[in-house]
Amino acid sequence: MSKIETRGLSLFYGNFQALIDVNVQIKEKMITALIGPSGCGKSTFLRTLNRMNDLIDGIRITGEVLIDGENIYGNRTDLVLLRKKVGMVFQRPNSFPLSVFDNVAYGPRIHGSKNKAELEDIVEESLRHVELWDILKDKLDHSALNLSLEQQQRLCIARLVAVTPEVVLMDEPCSALDPVATSKVEELMAELKKQYTILIVTHNMQQAARVSDRTGFMLLGKLLEYGETRQVFTNPKEKKTEEYITGRYG
Amino acid sequence: MKIRAKSHLKISTQTQQKIAFTFLGIASILVIVPVIVIFVILIQKGLPAINWQFLTAMPRMGMRAGGIFPAIMGTLYLVSGTIVVALPLGVLAAIYLVEYARQNFLTRMIEVAIVNLAGVPSVVYGLFGMGLFVIYLKLGVSIIAGALTLAIMILPVIITSSKEALQSVPRSFREASLALGVSKWQTICCVVLPNALPGILTGTILGISRAAGETAPILFTVAAFYLPRLPKSIFDQCMALPYHLYVLSTQVPNVNPKIQYGTALVLVGIVFLLNLVAIIVRSHIRSKKQW
């Protein structure tokens, strides 16, 4: 069974239709990349998967999004549980103006881990997971905002890992990073894939080609093509996809 | 010819600029002058009156001698009561308006009402407070009636500054928290409020300093003409500095001007201190702020 499946998913901002009948099945423990020109709806699509779009006034969604077979737009969805299960990494690292420790411990604390030793374990494990522990173990009480952007983005991933999600949505996670930092985060993603189902929205086609197992190409709110990354990049079925990846527009 | 014309033009713009700067400078100085004059006169004439006894003793001989202790305490009681009522109410209203309310007719009405509330003359608040709290709710002329009236008067200040403080917390903080499966209310408590707190405090202190100095709202609701003892409960009347000053200046014959100026100096001093605290809090937090 696929981890995530959308059926006839459409999204309207007022009268503007930002997503048009998106049908996709996303497999567990794989990296799926979404590419497409700006404004094609890829970030909007990503945000339907943890219902972050709910924050925007005047939005209407039709169709179904099934995660582990359950429609998250059904009446019984608990947003808190959904977002715990489907975490998100944002375009710019958005660490809180707190210490490194408090950033990582933020989620577990609110979700009920009060015990100090338990929190320390979670923080260490999460930081190890994103390979920050060795760098930061003596600086846990330093402000997270003093870290480099790359370290902050890793920290944000550690903060997410600390609440043990199953799906990780990444919305252009490297757009604020330089090439070296980008390649480090990409390595991290390959590592995270072992445990998590990852969806990444990216402007960078090389990145999609490098890290992902599957790629979806979106244009004007439609998912035009979706398949094995290798196939999408070397032998796209749609002419528009070919034009985009060969740089004829975008 | 052409060059001459240009240089001629240049001189005239420079002259224009000089004239403009001169006027701007004069305007700025004119703003400072009254403040300085008020402070100089108050300190010159009021400082000799101020000593430990003046600050801590009861007034005697029909307020012509002794101290202003009950008026100082009365003002402090009123200010505390006002904070207790206005701060939670104002902050909760601001949270609702910023975080929960959708933009519709009702919220626009509430926002218009807040703006208008800020423009209501303070004497009208006084009459309103007398009508509602003193007479209708039968609280009598009392500290609680006065504090409630002052609280309503400064609510717009607190709501507006709290709203601005909440809105200035980056959206990315909220998203980060929500995306970790933290509920909206927890997000507000754990992320938004702590980061908005300095702005909220600044606004509150500014509101409070206004409340401390107003006479009209307390005139009908709490202020006692002469009450040479401390109030026994919040349902008691009390003296207050602004009203005491008014009484000393207009209602009691043959008061030593020293006492009048001394009282004014204490009142201005309290308001100034409150403003100073607001400035310090703000600059302290600004220097720590990193986003």
B45 with B184, same domain: the answer is: no
Contact B291 A97 (CB under 8 A): yes
Same domain, B177 and B124: yes
* In-domain check, residue A250: no
**What's the mean pLDDT in A157-167?**
89
CATH of the domain at A137: 3.40.50.300
pLDDT tops 90 at residue A132: no
Identify the pLDDT of residue B6. Answer: 53
Confidence at residue B16, expressed as pLDDT on a 0 to 100 scale: 87
Q: Which of B16, B34, B49 is the last residue of a domain?
A: B49
Judge whether A57 is closer than 8 Å to chain B, CB to CB: yes
pLDDT at B123: 92
User: What is the pairing mode between strands A86-89 and B65-66?
Assistant: unpaired
Q: Which residues of A touch B291 (CB under 8 A)?
A: 97, 145
Say if CB B161 and CB B206 are below 8 A apart.
yes
Q: Which of A181, A226, A182 is nearest to A203 (CA)?
A: A182
Q: Do B18 and B70 fall into the same domain?
A: no
Are residues B165 and B239 located together in one domain of the fold?
A: yes
Express each pLDDT in A201-239 by its tens digit.
988 888 888 888 999 988 888 888 888 888 888 888 888
**Does the CB of A108 have a partner CB in chain B at under 8 Å?**
no
Q: What is the pLDDT of residue A113?
A: 75
Instruction: Return the residue of B nearest to A165 by Cα.
Output: B180
* pLDDT value, residue B155: 92
Residue A52 has what pLDDT? 87
**pLDDT beneath 70: ranges in chain B:** 1-10, 288-291
The β-bridge relationship of strands A31-35 and A214-219 is parallel
**pLDDT value of position B133:** 92
Amino acid at B73: M
A53 → chain B, closest CA residue? B175
SS3 B217: helix
Counted domains in chain A: 1
Chain B residue with Cα closest to A58: B102
Q: Residue B121 has which token pair? A: 């003359």
Q: Is A214 helix (H, G, I), strand (E, B) or coil?
A: strand
Based on the fold, state whether residues B15 and B135 are members of the same structural domain: no
CA B177, CA B192: separation in Å to the nearest integer?
10
Nearest to A244 by CA among A37, A33, A19: A37
Please report, for the domain that includes residue B168, its CATH number. 1.10.3720.10
Residue B45 and residue B185 share a domain: no
Would you say residue A203 lies in a domain? yes
Q: Which two tokens stand for residue A87?
A: 């975490």
- Helix%, strand%, coil% for chain A, nearest 5: 40, 25, 35
- Per DSSP, the residues of B6-26 read HHHHHHHHHHHHHHHHHHHHH
**Contacts B195 to A, Cβ<8 Å:** 97
| Chain A residues with CB-CB distance to B186 below 8 A | 110
Residue A38 has a pLDDT of 84
Q: Given this model, what pLDDT does residue A249 score?
A: 64
Whether residue B252 is found in the same domain as residue B278: yes
- What is the structure's pLDDT at B49? 84
Instruction: Give domain status of residue A155, yes or no.
Output: yes
Identify the DSSP state of B233.
S
Alpha carbon distances (Å) from B181 to A80, A82, B44: 4, 7, 62
Assign B185 to helix, strand or coil: helix
Quickly count: other Cβ atoms within 10 Å of residue B242's Cβ. Answer: 23
Amino acid at B259: I
- A116, part of any domain: yes
Let me know whether B95 and B37 are in one domain. Answer: no
- Are residues B157 and B23 both part of a single domain? no
Of all residues in chain A, the percent with pLDDT exceeding 90 is 6
List the one residue out of B253, B248, B99 whose CA is nearest residue B169.
B99
For residue B182, the chain A residue with the least C-alpha distance is A80
Considering the domain boundaries, does residue A207 fall inside one? yes
Q: Are residues B152 and B178 in the same domain?
A: yes
Are B65 and B204 part of one and the same domain? yes
For A89, the domain range is 4-245
Q: What is the pLDDT of residues B144-190, one digit of tens each?
A: 999 999 999 999 999 999 999 999 998 889 989 998 888 889 999 98
Domain count for chain B, please give it. 2
Distance from CA of A82 to the nearest CA of B (A): 7
Last residue of a domain, one of B10, B25, B49: B49
Same-domain status, B29 and B92: no
User: What range defines the domain where residue B12 resides?
Assistant: 2-49
